[in-house]
Structure 1
Amino acid sequence: MPATAQSYRQRRRRRTNRLLAVAAGAVTAGALAAAALPGTASAGEAGRGHGGHEPGRYQDVQLLSFNDLHGNLEPPAGSSGRVTEVQPDGTTKTVDAGGVEYLATHLRQARKGNPYSITAAGGDMVGASPLLSGLFHDEPTIEALNKLDLDVTSVGNHEFDEGARELARLQNGGCHPTEGCYTDKEFEGADFPYLAANVLDEKTGKPVLAPYWVWKNNGVKVGFIGVTLEGTPDIVSAEGVKGLSFKDEVETINKYAKVLQGQGVKSIVALIHEGGFPASTSYNYDCDSPGAGDGISGPIVDIAKNVTPQVDALVTGHTHNAYVCTIDDPAGKPRMVTSAASFGRLYTDTTLTYDRWTGDIARTAVKSANHVVTRDVPKAPDMTSLIDRWNTLAAPIGNRPIGYISGDIGNTGTESPLGDLIADAQLAYGKELDPETDLALMNSGGIRAPLTYAAKAGEDDGVVTYAEGFTVQPFANTVNLQDFTGAQVIQVLKEQVSGSNAEAPKILQVSSGLTYTLDLTKTGADRVVTDSIRLNGAAIDPAATYRVATNSFLAGGGDGFPTLGQGTNDVVGADDLKALEQYLTANSSATAPIAPPAADRITIVG
């Protein structure tokens, strides 16, 4: 059963080393009825106290933040577990980073000597998670975040992968509705509030979770407003966002900033699950340095320029990039905008100088920097224990070999080797369902990690385990077959670079036999050269019918491909991970591993 506001408070009180979030009551009817409304945190009750002397006018408040953890409790593998660092001489190097055992140590060390410390997150804490967390519907990650002393987070789009009811369970606790309890103890839920100010119940018109939350410590008050990107329905399955509406980020933040101001809370931080693209991939790039020009681009820039000056800092996410930039607010005053990459590889340490006379942040004194979650510090024992406990439950499933590879199979680039492999796997599975299946299309965003050749504990080089396959494709999408005309197939390829994908193209991964040219010297849909599109060497016939395999997310028109939502003669198969597993098992062995595909199906011009 969902936890009540009272039991939410009781869970918080049991944690003697963190702040108490005081919930005010229920938010909406239905699945999220028991979620906590805006509350406050009191250090006097929970132990992050203050000294015995009379406080002065200015008080530094430490804001530690991170985003897009995606259930990566163990150190991420390959490039997903590295960050790029600019050296003093201008060169760069890569640093291994991430793992919740190390993240906990870094955060705890950072808090030392900072009695006024808040830890916040920018969404996507769960969803698209590795098997260790995803197999258990991310209960392990919520448990880890509780131990990390996370105070508050916004929702991200992936918090809705399994729908609003499952998000309510992660917030409030209770056993999984179909799988039950995984251990002898009932899941208690999050000890921190999820904020979802711009996610409304279509029936009630009210936020499905708390829109804001207030932290208090010895007279210092800092309010947090949490939103996710308005375009969430375009990148989450239709079932996951059923019954919900997603409102404009700026309008929502500005609305609740006024509410907080009316309550006497003048220091405000927005937690926004939307982000930008820095001019450099190095985490410590100074995008405000002289000569940097426009150090950051993307949706967060317009958001930052239009969010009310009443908001003092923006913690962002979604794009998995690292940046610490200032962007002028509508009054022309610089305001800090941060993001800590993804997968727990970085955390941001921001100093907010609070003016006790005005109750506001002295914006000129705000400073911020990203820090690497290096793996050269001691592991946090409680996190090691947590990982070991859940790994014991997952090991019989996760350690099972499902295939063999002869080298790393990456998932980067316009066309990736792993994208080709997955598309081929779905084509092969589609042909099992219907021998008339002609081609398969796979969205790049559904490929969450590379397949790495190097051995992990308990396996040999080149072995692909079920856990690794799960990390690559964790969404449990089904493989669907649909009929399309040739004209529709051509239109789908053009939708990669037009419509909602015009500014940020989403290139589909294609199965063997489908080839075409992408001309980057052109604009819009013209970037896909129609005359170049071939299937097994023959031009696509606009009037002919083609049987196409996709995952269920694309089959619903997701990722800005409305034409894929117009197919006919639907057949729904098993989940996409099963298709990958079957393909690897059938086409590889220890003596004949699969080689990385050449990724030569899309010809790039320009």
Structure 2
Amino acid sequence: MRRMTAGAATLAVAGALAVAALPAAHAAPERPGAPAAGKPGHGHTVDLQLLAINDFHGALEPPSGSAGRVTHEHEDGSLEDIDAGGVEYLATALREAREGERRTVTVAAGDMVGATPLISGLFHDEPTIEALNQLGMDVVGVGNHEFDEGWRELIRKQEGGCHPEDGCYVEGREFEGADFPFLAANVVHEETGKPILAPYTVLNLKGAKVGFIGVTLEGTANIVTEEGIRGLEFLDEAETINRYTKELRRKGVNAVVALIHEGGYPASRAYNHDCDADGGGLSGPVVDIAERTDAAVDVLITGHTHQPYVCTIPDPAGNDRLVTSAAANGTLFTELNMRYDRRTKDIVRASVEGTNRVVHRDHRKATDLTELVTFWSELAAPVANRPIGWISEDILGRGAGTLESPLGNLIADAQLAHARQLDDAAALALMNPGGIRADLTYAASGDEGDGVVTYGEGFTVQPFSNTVHLIDLSGEQLLAVLREQVSGANEAVPKILQPSEGFSWTLDLTRSGADRVVAESVTVNGQPLDPAATYRVAVNSFLAGGGDGFPTLAEGASPLVGGNDMDVLAEYLAAVSSAESPIAAPPADRITILR
């Protein structure tokens, strides 16, 4: 596929169709025992294969801890965790899946970059874009994390060129940008209403024309830094898809796939669980989107929730339609097989089948991706391999699976300690759970030895380069913040802030809305919360701007800006741990939860 240029993106926004042939590299000899796709026998139909990932988050190296595990459900109902992922294995798995397929396309539903480990994040995610190019990625819908460094940086990732501040990282080696289009149909300039990037693209798969529309969640503005999206508006997902579906059909493209960076929650965490069995189905925001998305859309590839599922949700015409997600971090990919009717120029809905497939680490590694990972790893090594602390056991964050996590508490403690160096009146710290991207694992991920926490491992946990802010909140405002965890934007999917030591409250899940926070239970350093008192509170810069649905935090008075949150964590670990005295996971007992 030719590289998307600024001019090509503009034409696409104006409604022109970007029609391109798939690279010849996607064709390969038929794998033993597999039927040849597109062979005679279907009459007026031909076979199509669609391979999909989502929420890759720059996981070039095999992700550690819970971020690198998927759950398999055996026939007897027992569950088994499997280590998975790593771009060298993902490349091999995708290439093997394409073997024997004449018409195949590889797509992604957002968050390919952003919240990435140091090997990618240190270089503004150029390594991830280069890896996706080598994977044979054809189309990517944007997600919220594509905007972590601002929309102009996203444009650079599309078009290429050295970073405006950091420049090129190796003399004579300029970043060339993505070989695939980023699609952003519902991300528009407020002044013009036009998308910042192409809203859709059309691929001509040996005579089968398929349109792809990409959208991110409408609530993106609530979960990214305001500065990076100033001047942009995020439109309703289903309404946007419906608009461009009609446009595609007017141009004779009846086969349509939606790439939606919003997701749902299946009844089981197992990637191979029968989503539609026993009425389990899917819950969460994507259900409403799917039910409102034009019946002319044939498949919905989704993401954002990091869950694995292949489910059916009825379209507005009452017909079942597949909605899929492949977990996160390149641990799975979804394989969809379907037939394309050359007479109607549409996908035969009844023929669509999907399966989530594990990216096993006993695959052979793709040598070209090994070379790429090695190149960037060696550049990052002087920073990544520096020890910053010592632990005696796993300290779970994202992998805890609980509303309060040991790692969340540890980070909050670190930020409070830093805040008290700036102002000894600091009373407490709060950490957003979405800012904790991984676990600290005891087992060594490299040559550093068990129990050693490296800067690279810490960066994987906190990759956003936020700063620690001190703000004044009244007791009444602080209670409002706690209520915002479970109400307003966070009512359907609560975001429970991680508290520093000495700050506690009770969360009563038998209640609903803001009432789930028991007001009389809130204590600061053992004393009941005083609504009239002023408390000095430490939060990261994202929260201080009202991010994650906490507008009251943006009202904080007397702001004081401290250090980078990753450096704050490193300094804290160095102060409280050593090789001779590693720290254990702090107990997650600051929030009392009633069920």
Partner of 1:16: none
Partner of 1:27: 10
Q: Does 1:163 align with 2:146?
A: no
Matching residue's letter, 1:233: A
The alpha-carbon deviation at position 203 of structure 1 amounts to 2.2
Partner of 2:18: 39
Partner of 1:579: 568
Corresponding residue to 2:497 among 498, 505, 508: 508
Partner of 1:172: 159
Q: Does 1:106 align with 2:85?
A: no
Q: Distance in 2 between matches of 1:225 and 1:141?
A: 22
Q: Normalised by the size of structure 1, how large is the TM-score?
A: 0.93
The alpha-carbon deviation at position 38 of structure 1 amounts to 4.6
5 Å matches for 1:359-374?
359-374=345-360
Q: Distance in 2 between matches of 1:335 and 1:124?
A: 24
Partner of 1:240: 228
Partner of 1:88: 75
Alignment deviations for residues 196-218 of structure 1 (CA, whole Å, 9 cap, x no partner): 00000112210000000001022
Q: Normalised by the size of structure 2, how large is the TM-score?
A: 0.95
**Are 1:36 and 1:193, in contact at CA under 8 Å, matched by a contact in 2?**
no
Matching residue's letter, 2:536: R
The alpha-carbon deviation at position 27 of structure 1 amounts to 2.4
5 Å matches for 1:22-421?
25-27=8-10, 38-43=17-22, 48=27, 56-184=43-171, 185-289=173-277, 292-411=278-397, 412=400, 413-421=402-410
**Are 1:36 and 1:209, in contact at CA under 8 Å, matched by a contact in 2?**
no
Partner of 1:4: none
Matched position secondary structure for 2:537: strand
Q: Distance in 1 between matches of 2:10 and 2:149?
A: 20
1:264–1:583 distance in 2 versus 1, CA, 3 Å: same
Matching residue's letter, 1:568: A
Q: Which runs of 5+ in 2 are unaligned?
A: 29-36
Q: Distance in 2 between matches of 1:43 and 1:54?
A: 24
The alpha-carbon deviation at position 22 of structure 1 amounts to 9.2
Partner of 2:581: 592
Q: Distance in 1 between matches of 2:238 and 2:197?
A: 18
**Are 1:315 and 1:337, in contact at CA under 8 Å, matched by a contact in 2?**
yes
The alpha-carbon deviation at position 23 of structure 1 amounts to 8.4
**Are 1:278 and 1:323, in contact at CA under 8 Å, matched by a contact in 2?**
yes
Matching residue's letter, 1:223: G
Q: Distance in 2 between matches of 1:418 and 1:365?
A: 46
Matching residue's letter, 1:357: R
Corresponding residue to 2:422 among 410, 430, 433: 433
Matched position secondary structure for 1:529: strand
5 Å matches for 1:448-459?
448-459=437-448
The alpha-carbon deviation at position 365 of structure 1 amounts to 0.9
Matching residue's letter, 1:254: N
**Are 2:38 and 2:47, in contact at CA under 8 Å, matched by a contact in 1?**
no
The alpha-carbon deviation at position 456 of structure 1 amounts to 2.2
Matching residue's letter, 2:187: V
1:459–1:22 distance in 2 versus 1, CA, 3 Å: closer
1:34–1:500 distance in 2 versus 1, CA, 3 Å: closer
Q: What is the aligned-residue identity percentage?
A: 61
The alpha-carbon deviation at position 47 of structure 1 amounts to 7.2
The alpha-carbon deviation at position 239 of structure 1 amounts to 1.1
**Are 1:260 and 1:266, in contact at CA under 8 Å, matched by a contact in 2?**
yes
Q: Distance in 1 between matches of 2:526 and 2:247?
A: 62
Alignment deviations for residues 151-202 of structure 1 (CA, whole Å, 9 cap, x no partner): 0010000000010110001000000110000123110000000000000011
Partner of 2:34: none
5 Å matches for 1:424-573?
424-573=413-562
Matched position secondary structure for 1:515: strand
Matching residue's letter, 1:416: S
| Structure 1 stretches of at least 4 aligned residues deviating more than 6 Å after TM superposition | 21-24, 33-37, 44-47, 49-55
Matched position secondary structure for 1:424: helix
**Are 1:24 and 1:36, in contact at CA under 8 Å, matched by a contact in 2?**
no
**Are 2:508 and 2:593, in contact at CA under 8 Å, matched by a contact in 1?**
yes
Count the aligned residue pairs.
Answer: 583
**Are 1:34 and 1:172, in contact at CA under 8 Å, matched by a contact in 2?**
no
Q: Distance in 1 between matches of 2:351 and 2:436?
A: 41
Matching residue's letter, 1:592: S
C-alpha RMSD of the superposition: 2.0
The alpha-carbon deviation at position 117 of structure 1 amounts to 0.3
Matched position secondary structure for 1:283: coil
Matching residue's letter, 1:86: E
Q: Distance in 1 between matches of 2:273 and 2:38?
A: 36
Q: Distance in 1 between matches of 2:22 and 2:571?
A: 54
Q: Distance in 1 between matches of 2:60 and 2:507?
A: 38
Matched position secondary structure for 1:389: helix
The alpha-carbon deviation at position 537 of structure 1 amounts to 0.6
Matching residue's letter, 1:569: S
The alpha-carbon deviation at position 288 of structure 1 amounts to 1.9
Matched position secondary structure for 1:27: helix
Structure 1 stretch displaced more, 252-261 or 525-534: 525-534
Q: Distance in 2 between matches of 1:213 and 1:454?
A: 44
Alignment deviations for residues 55-78 of structure 1 (CA, whole Å, 9 cap, x no partner): 941111000001000000011101
